[in-house]
A and B are shown apart, each in its own frame.
Chain A
């Protein structure tokens, strides 16, 4: 049977598989939140979603626009604050997994989410560090979802620590032993990190994606797993959950903008029509 899925649905599905039952998961907006909810509905019903706003055990009824909107702040078990999320939770190792986004990433999973170009004369100013540096540094595993980001030899700005210079340099720098980036999910495939050298390698490739094409997007000689597999596709059930919970994620950014523009024009036209009728 053919399964039809969107690019972002596949990323959500791959990300959801990174959550194990009973884990505490730090999640931001968008694709990771959809992944967290999918995991709870499929294979990890006892996992606990946490956001940096200090919301623990949330069960959003639709995909939140940001980490503290009204769908995220109803019906959760523990309302602490941002200070507590980093210190009393992450610093004690309670955060099993954190999901983060990527602007630029180097071969050891260090990340830039601040500036493209020389920061003093930048081409693009991205959103900034937010909570990424400490969650990347102190969660036991970090899962990166990368939709628009790029791999680079040298970051334009070092925002969040991965494995630093590889090997055990991360642990020598004081971050918890055993912690670090575990998976990077892109529209092309799933990447993991070598257990010893900590260098990133391609672990699975999405259906229909060309390996040589992936290599051209990586500016160093990309290592590829000896057991390279094709990424497992989401089941019909998983797709249904994603589409019901997060249609905006299913359709991706471009279609989302198109639909919102249409919605706003309709809204303005309707209000203007009503105003005319009043006169």
Chain B
């Protein structure tokens, strides 16, 4: 585990990836299906990092993009959405057939339990034993036997299926808001976010908006990425597009359909990636290109209408020990009387 106590971790996405990501490392997405850190994903692809191992609960497009770019060569996952239909031969399919990517199949619970055990600092944790006869338990991929084990429950003497805890080198995460120290707040579907973020040794965080620390402090229950684990924070509006984010924007189905229509052949996905990833420097440029290509009306139609949560009231009596006049009603003394009292009782020490 790593610890980052710098009070201001604002940087650029390119710098964050350059500084905190090394070839051959492992990482986890601390979002799943929704609110995905896709701007960060595009930056990771542009960075040219290689041979990463990805732990990912459920993918929509990011697995195919990272595979096509040869950023990842090992994948631990439970699910990859196929909008192109099951007959489409996707980049992931090609990579598995041509063996430049190795896969480890898990279920959502068992993969998330690997993260939760890692997050809690345990070497393993129990999962639901009834599924032990399935092929994702029995057939080992590149992790070999470093996934499932069986122990005897000391209290019931029953056999208990367990998974090994993992701590990926870093997490990529997108949230609605964060302060400059990286305390990140997320709301909406919580999915895997807590355990994936806490399992990783560090978190690279993007947010729709950097806010004052006071905003974070007013709703601490929303903080999911604790600042001490966050090595870099980057403000990035539309950072999860084309996925959706509560309070900001909806899922962009037509845009995704254009991508999925391109997955079938190496040439067409290359054209898509040249246009939307390699030919673009930043998310601002990406959004500008989007408005030109698909119309700013299309973009605007995705924007969220406000529907705020009723604020949690953290109020209290705010009773002070010393009032404005320096009087303490609990002690019935002012400061001079308090010092005299301590002295008389022999509580004040002299050197």
CB–CB B109/A264 < 8 A: no
Cβ of A66 under 8 Å from chain B: yes
Cβ of A119 under 8 Å from chain B: yes
CB–CB A130/B136 < 8 A: no
CB–CB B106/A81 < 8 A: no
CB–CB A159/B189 < 8 A: no
Bitwise interface map of B from 104 to 128 toward A, beta carbon under 8 Å scored 1, else 0: 0111110011001000000000001
In the complex, what distance in Å separates the CA atom of A132 from the CA atom of B128?
Answer: 13
CB–CB A164/B189 < 8 A: no
Cβ of A151 under 8 Å from chain B: no
Residues from chain B with Cβ under 8 Å of A174 in the complex: 129-130, 132, 158
Query: Which residue in A67, A127, A161 is a CB contact (below 8 Å) of B134?
Result: A161
Name the interface size band of chain A: 35 or more
Residues from chain A with Cβ under 8 Å of B109 in the complex: 82-83, 86-87, 131, 133-134
Query: Which residue in B81, B85, B294 is a CB contact (below 8 Å) of A271?
Result: B294
Stretch of A10-18, A31-39, A47-55 on the interface side:
A47-55
Instruction: Give me the interface of B with A, judged by CB distance under 8 Å.
Output: 32-34, 57-58, 60, 77-82, 85-87, 90, 92-93, 96-97, 105-109, 112-113, 116, 128-136, 139, 158, 187-195, 244, 246, 250-251, 253-254, 257-258, 292-295, 297-298, 304, 307
* 8 A Cβ contacts from A154-186 to B: 157-161, 164, 173-176
- The 8 A-B residue pairs with the shortest CB-CB distance, nearest first, are A68-B189, A271-B295, A130-B79, A53-B189, A175-B130, A81-B190, A68-B34, A129-B107
In chain B, what residue has the closest Cβ to A84? B190
Cβ of A229 under 8 Å from chain B: no
Residues from chain A with Cβ under 8 Å of B246 in the complex: 70, 73-74
Name the residue among A53, A68, A134, A161 with the largest chain B CB count within 10 angstroms. A68
CB–CB A138/B128 < 8 A: yes
A2 smallest CB distance to B (angstroms): 33
Residues from chain B with Cβ under 8 Å of A55 in the complex: 189
Q: Known contacts being A54-B190, A73-B246, A125-B93, is A86 close to B82, with CB within 8 Å?
A: no
CB–CB A125/B128 < 8 A: no
In chain A, what residue has the closest Cβ to B83? A65
A-B contact pairs, 29 of them (CB 8 A): A53-B34, A66-B60, A66-B251, A69-B244, A70-B250, A72-B189, A73-B188, A79-B187, A79-B189, A81-B192, A82-B32, A82-B190, A83-B109, A86-B108, A86-B109, A114-B135, A122-B96, A128-B80, A129-B136, A131-B78, A134-B109, A148-B86, A158-B133, A158-B134, A159-B134, A159-B135, A173-B130, A253-B85, A267-B298
In the complex, what distance in Å separates the CA atom of A124 from the CA atom of B191?
Answer: 28
B142 smallest CB distance to A (angstroms): 13
Name the residue among B107, B139, B193 with the largest chain A CB count within 10 angstroms. B107
Cβ of A213 under 8 Å from chain B: no
Cβ of A244 under 8 Å from chain B: no
CB–CB A271/B298 < 8 A: yes
In the complex, what distance in Å separates the CA atom of A190 from the CA atom of B242?
Answer: 38
- 18 extra interface residue pairs, beta carbon distance < 8 Å, beyond A55-B189, A80-B190, A260-B253: A68-B32, A69-B244, A73-B188, A74-B246, A79-B187, A82-B190, A83-B116, A83-B195, A86-B128, A125-B80, A125-B86, A127-B86, A128-B78, A129-B78, A138-B128, A160-B134, A173-B133, A264-B257
CB–CB B79/A129 < 8 A: yes
Residues from chain B with Cβ under 8 Å of A86 in the complex: 108-109, 112, 128
Cβ of A275 under 8 Å from chain B: yes
Cβ of A3 under 8 Å from chain B: no
Q: Known contacts being A81-B194, A82-B191, A114-B105, is A127 close to B82, with CB within 8 Å?
A: yes
B268 smallest CB distance to A (angstroms): 15
Q: Known contacts being A53-B190, A174-B129, is A82 close to B108, with CB within 8 Å?
A: yes
A76 smallest CB distance to B (angstroms): 10
Q: Known contacts being A66-B81, A70-B250, is A274 close to B295, with CB within 8 Å?
A: yes
Cβ of A268 under 8 Å from chain B: yes
Query: Which residue in A70, A91, A103, A267 is a CB contact (below 8 Å) of B244?
Result: A70
Residues from chain B with Cβ under 8 Å of A214 in the complex: none
Cβ of A43 under 8 Å from chain B: no
A134 smallest CB distance to B (angstroms): 5
Query: Which residue in B108, B136, B158, B253 is a CB contact (below 8 Å) of A131?
Result: B108
B114 smallest CB distance to A (angstroms): 12
In the complex, what distance in Å separates the CA atom of A29 from the CA atom of B97?
Answer: 29
Residues from chain A with Cβ under 8 Å of B132 in the complex: 173-174
A166 smallest CB distance to B (angstroms): 14
In chain A, what residue has the closest Cβ to B96? A125
Query: Which residue in A119, A133, A263 is a CB contact (below 8 Å) of B131?
Result: A133
Residues from chain A with Cβ under 8 Å of B58 in the complex: 130
In the complex, what distance in Å separates the CA atom of A121 from the CA atom of B93?
Answer: 10
Query: Which residue in B78, B188, B292 is a CB contact (below 8 Å) of A275?
Result: B292
Residues from chain B with Cβ under 8 Å of A211 in the complex: none
